[in-house]
Structure 1
Amino acid sequence: MTTTPIQYRHILFDWGDTLMRDLPGQTGPMADWPKVEAMPGAVQALHLLSAHSVCHLATNARDSDAQDIRRALARVGLDNYLQQIFCYRQLQVEKPARAYFQQIVETLHCPSKQILMVGDNLQKDVAGALDAGLDACWLNLKEEGNHLDIQQVNSFSSLTSWLLSGLNSHKGTR
């Protein structure tokens, strides 16, 4: 299969209910939960996408520091695909604040338009990133309706297909 390299140097992924399932009733660091799960298709998508862009995690999680997060990611085989962990404990601010994303842009030493944020939360992940000048894609796994002109996909395979197709300017659900 021939693919067109994607235009983003960096891809930020949200953590809970984007890369890993946020299981009901669990508290404390996810790395210490008795059971953890990767979201369907997340491992395969990161395997493919990390060959074209540097992938990172950007989360609001307050119970975990970067080391805790990396331990949770390792339990489901995602840790090797993610370079940096950006979390509340490090940044001291939460998505959707513009300052959250600006700190990431500064750390990555990259123009904001070369960074894509992918997340399941329309307000925190997508609107916050767009407001800060990044591109964003809504991972709309629940296939919720909206009338906004934003990029959205309903699965990791759709995300991968969209990014590898080179159709970065097309908006809508895939």
Structure 2
Amino acid sequence: MVDFPSANGKMHLWQNVETVKGATTTLRQLAQKHDIYIATNAADSNEQDIQQAFERVNLAQYISGYFCFANTGLHKTSADFYQHIIKRLNVEASSITMVGDTFAKDVLPALESGVNAVWYNPKHLPQPALNKPFTKNQSFTVINQLEALLP
């Protein structure tokens, strides 16, 4: 979903709600073989609010669930957020890949928790240095378009 920084309140009530370029095609194909969950830092929306925003842009059909502050009590910027998801889904951290567009708020906390990460970087921003090594079982990649996630 496109984040509109000037929009306030619950996303499903925003005047404009848009998908990121390539999201529909990518999610449609990935959902055929993978469970897809949304992890969001939206502090003023609960699961139902977030789902309604995804329904507005016809993406909810590809989503298996939503994780947010309202149902975790944690912020996405914390490795604990991803540890909560790992426990809730009862999976190994290495079986999860988090795709996010903000290096510091998405990628680093995911890596700190042992989750694989993909930095969606359509603006071709320079990659910040990783201050510590992560486990050998993790992968970290950079993509500039969502379709790069497809086989």
- Tell me, yes or no, whether TM beats 0.5: yes
Asked if residue 40 in structure 1 is aligned to residue 5 in structure 2, the reply is no
- Relative to structure 1, the CA distance from residue 24 to residue 130 in structure 2 (aligned partners, 3 Å threshold; closer, same or farther) is closer
Asked if residue 69 in structure 1 is aligned to residue 50 in structure 2, the reply is yes
Counterpart position of 1:12: none
For structure 1, the 5+ residue unaligned runs are: 1-19, 165-174
Counterpart position of 1:155: 145
TM-score (norm 2): 0.89
State whether residues 74 and 80 of structure 2, in contact with CA within 8 Å, keep that contact through their aligned partners in structure 1: yes
Report which structure shows greater RCO (CA 8 Å, sep ≥6).
1
Structure 1 residue 22, shift from structure 2 partner: 1.2
For structure 2, the 5+ residue unaligned runs are: 131-139
- Relative to structure 1, the CA distance from residue 53 to residue 145 in structure 2 (aligned partners, 3 Å threshold; closer, same or farther) is same
Corresponding residue to 1:49 among 30, 40, 55: 30
- Relative to structure 1, the CA distance from residue 147 to residue 21 in structure 2 (aligned partners, 3 Å threshold; closer, same or farther) is closer
Identity %: 35
Give the Cα–Cα distance (whole angstroms) in 1 for the partners of residues 42 and 92 of structure 2: 25
Counterpart position of 1:100: 81
Counterpart position of 2:7: 26
Amino acid at match of 2:22: G
Give the Cα–Cα distance (whole angstroms) in 1 for the partners of residues 127 and 10 of structure 2: 32
Structure 1 residue 148, shift from structure 2 partner: 4.3
Count of aligned pairs:
142
- Relative to structure 1, the CA distance from residue 88 to residue 157 in structure 2 (aligned partners, 3 Å threshold; closer, same or farther) is same
TM-score (norm 1): 0.78
Corresponding residue to 1:145 among 115, 123, 126: 126
CA RMSD of aligned residues (A): 1.3
Structure 1 residue 147, shift from structure 2 partner: 5.5
